[in-house]
């Protein structure tokens, strides 16, 4: 596979295949950065990423993004298998043929229920009066935009914006969650460090375009009642995330500069040494 290269920085690229974006050598991704920041993941998460089995939420999210943001490409990427009873001989044969066709065409296989659910997500997003304004073609917007820049702390960085509205200075990221309620999504921000993603994208888009953008999460519930809600994160929260980004990049540099396996192994888990847990997380400290 030939991967396009970025010839100069900064760069904002439209229509870059997602696989090319993921495999662009030498660039630090938001998802990788999170694993260098305190209390989120670990370097082991990055180093063994190719061994991670694909999860159902990840698969659903990929289908959701394609259906909502790249609807014209759905049938180029997926084959929808009719609903069958896989317990019967006929059903098993139809499933086998569908799997065989998907493999031969290099497409993902989805069943009728999955496709119907994804269409429901798209319908509800386009019916919501607020998200509709941001997602329809009435505005100058670009979907699946890849950005590359040189971070001020000395790393080559990248981002992949689900939707960028340059005339409104808005970046949109679509999330398909079990619940889209404010309290539930607040917990998800802490759990998945979506605050780091927002701060990283805002910082990156400013470095690339000079625009000070607002970052909005477009959250769609994956099941009934399929509510749609737009969220943004307050500035103070984003500022705290920027401090964690600095810590993450510091640890990234430390990891890159390791000269022995022993030094690398010390950094691979969540914290080096023994961590004393306290009721208030900010008081936690290493005792070794």
Q: Residue 231 sits in a domain of what CATH number?
A: 3.90.320.10
Residue 106 domain flag: no
Please give the average per-residue pLDDT across 108-128, as a whole number. Answer: 94
Read off the pLDDT of residues 49-83 as tens digits, 9 standing for 90 and up. Answer: 877 777 777 888 999 999 999 999 999 999 998 88
Residue 86 domain flag: no
Read off the pLDDT of residues 188-220 as tens digits, 9 standing for 90 and up. Answer: 999 999 999 999 999 999 999 999 999 999 999
d(CA 24, CA 2): 10
Pick the closest to residue 230 from 194, 199, 267, 185 (CA basis). Answer: 185
Q: Residue 215 is encoded by which pair of tokens?
A: 């970052």
Residue 124 domain flag: yes
Instruction: For the chain, report the end-to-end CA distance as a whole number of angstroms.
Output: 46
Q: Do residues 175 and 165 touch, judged by C-beta distance below 8 A?
A: no
Read off the pLDDT of residues 218-261 as tens digits, 9 standing for 90 and up. Answer: 999 999 999 999 999 999 999 999 999 999 999 999 999 999 99
Report the share of the chain in percent with pLDDT over 90: 72
Q: State pTM to two decimals.
A: 0.89
Residue 5 domain flag: no
Task: Please calculate the CA angle 97-99-104 and round it to the nearest 5 degrees.
Answer: 95
Residue 105 domain flag: no
Residue 99 domain flag: no
**Chain position carrying tokens 């909005």:** 216
Please give the tally of structural domains in the chain: 1
d(CA 28, CA 241): 17
Q: Range of 46's domain?
A: 11-72+116-257
Q: Is the peptide bond before 10 cis (omega within 30 degrees of 0)?
A: yes
For the chain, how big is the Rg over CA atoms in Å? Answer: 21
Q: Do residues 191 and 144 touch, judged by C-beta distance below 8 A?
A: no
Residue 207 domain flag: yes
Task: For the chain, give the number of residues.
Answer: 288
Residue 231 domain flag: yes
């Amino acid at each position: 596979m030939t991967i396009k290269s970025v010839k100069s920085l900064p760069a904002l690229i439209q229509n870059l295949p997602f696989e090319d974006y993921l495999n662009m050598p030498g660039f630090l991704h938001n998802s990788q950065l999170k694993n260098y920041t305190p209390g989120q993941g670990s370097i082991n998460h990055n180093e063994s990423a190719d061994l991670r089995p694909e999860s159902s939420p990840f698969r659903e999210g990929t289908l959701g993004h394609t259906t909502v943001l790249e609807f014209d490409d759905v049938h180029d990427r997926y084959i929808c298998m009719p609903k069958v009873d896989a317990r019967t001989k006929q059903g098993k044969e139809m499933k086998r043929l569908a799997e065989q066709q998907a493999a031969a065409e290099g497409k993902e296989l989805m069943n009728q229920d999955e496709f119907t659910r994804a269409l429901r997500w798209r319908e509800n997003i386009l019916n919501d009066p607020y998200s509709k304004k941001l997602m329809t073609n009435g505005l100058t917007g670009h979907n699946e935009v890849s950005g590359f820049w040189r971070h001020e702390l000395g790393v080559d960085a990248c981002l992949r914006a689900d939707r960028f509205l340059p005339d409104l200075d808005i970046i949109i990221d679509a999330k398909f969650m079990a619940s889209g309620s404010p309290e539930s999504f607040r917990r998800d921000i802490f759990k998945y460090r979506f605050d780091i993603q927002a701060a990283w994208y805002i910082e990156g888009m400013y470095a690339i375009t000079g625009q000070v953008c607002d970052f909005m999460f477009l959250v769609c519930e994956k099941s009934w009642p399929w509510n749609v809600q737009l969220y943004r994160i307050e500035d103070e929260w984003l500022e705290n995330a920027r401090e964690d980004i600095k810590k993450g990049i510091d640890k990234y540099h430390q990891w890159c500069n390791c000269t022995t396996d022993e030094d690398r192994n010390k950094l691979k888990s969540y914290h080096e040494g023994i961590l004393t847990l306290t009721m208030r997380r900010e008081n936690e400290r290493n005792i070794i």
